[in-house]
Amino acid sequence: MVDNTTFWAFTILYVATTLFLGYLGFKRTKASEDFMLAGRNIHPWIIGLSYGATFISTSAIVGFGGTAAAYGMGLIWLAMLNISVGVLLAFVVFGKRTRELGMRLKVVTFPDLMGRRFRSPFMQYTAAVIVLIAMPLYASAVLIGGSRFVETALSVDFHLALVAFAAVTAIYVTLGGLKAVMYTDAMQGIIMIVGMAVLLLLTFMLLGDPTTAFTRLTDMAPMVPSSYASKGMTGWTTFPELGSELWLVMVTTIIMGVGIGVLAQPQLVVRFMTAKDNRALSRAIPVGGLFILLTTGVAYTVGPLTNVYFMDTTGKIAIDAANGNFDKIMPLFISSAMPDLFVVIFMLVLLAAAMSTLSAIFHTMGTTAGYDLWSNVKRLRKVDDHSKPSLSANKAGTFAMIIVSVALSLIMPESIIARATAMFMGLCACAFLPAFVHGLFSKSPSTLGAKLSLGLGGGAWFFWTFFVHIKESSILGISRFLTGHDAILGMPWQVVDPMVIALPASIIALTAGWIAESMMTKSEMGTNGRTGAE
C-alpha cells in the first residue's frame, strides 16, 4: 500500500500543474479557431509530444501491455508499425499534405475536411456520425485503463477514480480547447517518457540483465496454458504458429488494426493542422518518434517479462495472477514489484497517458458534435459556407460527449481496453482511410468514390463486427437474436478482424466509384461537345 501523504502530494502537484496549463490555454483562446485548431501556430516540439501523447494512452500501457503479457512479444511488431507508419509516414506523407489542404480549404475538423474536399455534406455528416458512435468506445477504454491502475495500486474505488479522471480532464478541455489540450499534452508526454524509461530499468534490475531475463522467459514456453497452445501460442518470445487462431488475432486485430488505423484517426489528423508550416511538422518527427519508441517499446517488452516475476513470486503466469483479466496485469505488476515511490510516479504516468488521450478524444468529439452536426444542421449551412463556428456549441458538445463516455465506461466488460482500442482504430481505417488518401493526393477527387468507400467500408466493418467476429458478436447479441447463432460463419472467420474484410471492400468501392464518375464525366463532355457542334 502506497503512503497516502506521498500519493496526495504528487497528485496535487500534478493536477495543479495540469490545471495551470489548461488555464494558459483558456486565456489564449479568444476565438473558435483557437478552440478548435490552437490558432494554427503550435511549436514543433509541442506538436510532437501532443501527437505522441494523444496516440499512446493507457490503452497501450495497460491494455496492450497486458495483452503482451498474455500473448507474448509479438506485439513488438506493433511498436515498429507505430513508429514507421504512425509517425514517419503519418508526418512526412500525410501530415504535410493535410496541413496544406486544411489551410487552403479553411477546415477546422476531420469531418469538415472530408466534406469540403469532396464538396459533399454527406461526407461531413456521415464522418461525424461515425466519430460520435465509435469514439466514446475508445474514450471509455482509456478511462478504464487509468482507473484500473488506481484501483489496484491504491485501493481506491474504481468508479470514484473514473469520475475523477473525467472531471479534471473535462475542466480544461471544455474551457481551454485545443490550446489547453496541447499544452497539457506536452507536460504529460514528458512524464510518460521518463516514467516508461525508469520502468524498463527497474524491471531489468529486478529480473536480471536483458539476456538473463529473456532467456528465463523463453524457458517458460512449456508453461503456456493449454487453452492458448491449442490456439497456436508457442511461447512468450516466439510468434504464434502461422495461420493459427492466435496468429490471426495478433496480426489482423492487434498489429494491423492499430498499426494501420492510426493514419485516419480524427484526433491525430487535427494535430497536423495546428502547425504553422511544413518545416514545423518535420521538426516534430524526432520528438514523436522517440516518444512512441519509449512508450510502446517498453510496454510491449515489460508486459511479457511480468510472467517471469509472477512465476518467481506466486508460482503463476501473469494472466493467472491477475485472475484472467488482461487489464489488471500491468497494474498488479507495478504495485507488487516496484518501490512505493515508483508506484506513485507510475500512477502519474498513467494519469498523464489517460488525460492526454482523453483530452484529445473529448475535444474531437465535442467539436464534431458542436460544429459538424449541431451548428451545421441548425444553420443548414452549405459545404462552401465559411462562417465562424459557434464557440458555445463546441463547448456544449464537448461536455455532452464526456457524459456519454463516462456512462459507457461504467458498463464495459472486463479485458476490454486493447479490444476497444483496436475496434476504434480498425473502423477508422475501413471507413475513412481510402477516401482520406484519395482526397489528399488526387487532383480531382471523386465524390461518388468517396461516398461509396465511406458507406461500404463502414457498413462492412459493422456487419462483420455484429455477425462474424466472435469477440464482439457474442457480446453484442445481435447475431444470436436474428439468426440464433453468435456468429453466422465458423472458424477461422470468427477470429479474422473486420478490417481485413472491410478495408479491401472500401478500396474497391472507391475505385469503382472513381471509374464510374470518370466515365460519366467523359460521357457528359462528349454529349456537350456534340450538342455544341450541332
Among 37-41, 205-209, 293-297, which is the least confidently predicted range?
A: 37-41
How many CB atoms sit inside 10 A of residue 21's CB? 22
Q: Is the pLDDT of residue 439 over 70?
A: yes
Q: Which has more confidence, 234 or 360?
A: 234
Among 30-39, 318-327, 469-478, which is the least confidently predicted range?
A: 30-39
CB 137 within 8 A of CB 424: yes
Taking only the tens place, the pLDDT of each residue in 223-251 is: 998 888 988 999 999 989 988 888 888 88
pLDDT for 149: 66
pLDDT for 287: 82
Among 69-73, 94-98, 473-477, which is the least confidently predicted range?
A: 473-477
Q: Is the pLDDT of residue 394 over 90?
A: no
**Ranges 69-73, 288-292, 377-381, most confident:** 69-73
Q: Which residues contact residue 381 at a Cβ distance below 8 angstroms, ignoring those fewer than 6 apart?
A: 375, 387
d(CA 166, CA 410): 12
**pLDDT-based confidence at residue 482 (cuts at 50, 70, 90):** confident
**Ranges 139-148, 283-292, 300-309, 326-335, most confident:** 300-309
CB 116 within 8 A of CB 107: yes
pLDDT for 383: 47
Among 86-100, 305-319, 383-397, which is the least confidently predicted range?
A: 383-397
Q: Is the pLDDT of residue 506 over 90?
A: yes
Half-sphere exposure of 387 (CA within 13 A, CB side): 12
Taking only the tens place, the pLDDT of each residue in 139-190 is: 887 777 767 766 765 677 778 877 877 777 777 777 666 667 777 777 778 8
Crossing angle between the packed helical segments 340-367 and 44-55, to the nearest 10 degrees: 100
pLDDT for 248: 86
For the question of whether the overall pTM of this predicted structure is more than 0.85, the answer is: no
Retrieve residue 165's grid coordinates: 479522471
Q: What is the mean pLDDT of the chain?
A: 80
Report the percentage of the chain scoring pLDDT > 70. 85
Q: Which has more confidence, 286 or 527?
A: 286
Q: Is the dihedral of CA 259, 263, 266, 268 positive or negative?
A: positive
**If you write DSSP's letter for every residue of 287-338 in order, what string do you get?**
HHHHHHHHHHHHHHHHHHHHHHHHHHHHSS-HHHHTTT-GGGHHHHHHHHHS
Q: Is the pLDDT of residue 451 over 90?
A: yes
> What domains appear along the chain, each with residue ranges and CATH number?
4-23+41-421 (1.20.1730.10)
Exposure string for 162-185, b = 16+ CB within 10 A, e = fewer: bbbbbebbbbbbbbbbbbbbbbbb
Q: Is the pLDDT of residue 308 over 90?
A: yes
pLDDT for 41: 66
Q: Is the pLDDT of residue 13 over 70?
A: yes
Q: Is the pLDDT of residue 452 over 50?
A: yes
How many CB atoms sit inside 10 A of residue 234's CB? 16
Taking only the tens place, the pLDDT of each residue in 487-501 is: 888 888 888 888 889
Q: Which residues contact residue 260 at a Cβ distance below 8 angstroms, ignoring those fewer than 6 apart?
A: 81, 85, 425, 429, 433, 499, 503
d(CA 44, CA 279): 9
pLDDT for 3: 59
Cα R_g (the chain), whole angstroms: 23
Q: Is the pLDDT of residue 260 over 70?
A: yes
In this prediction, residues 264-285 reach a mean pLDDT of: 81
pLDDT for 390: 59
**pLDDT-based confidence at residue 305 (cuts at 50, 70, 90):** very high
**pLDDT-based confidence at residue 413 (cuts at 50, 70, 90):** low
In this prediction, residues 431-448 reach a mean pLDDT of: 91
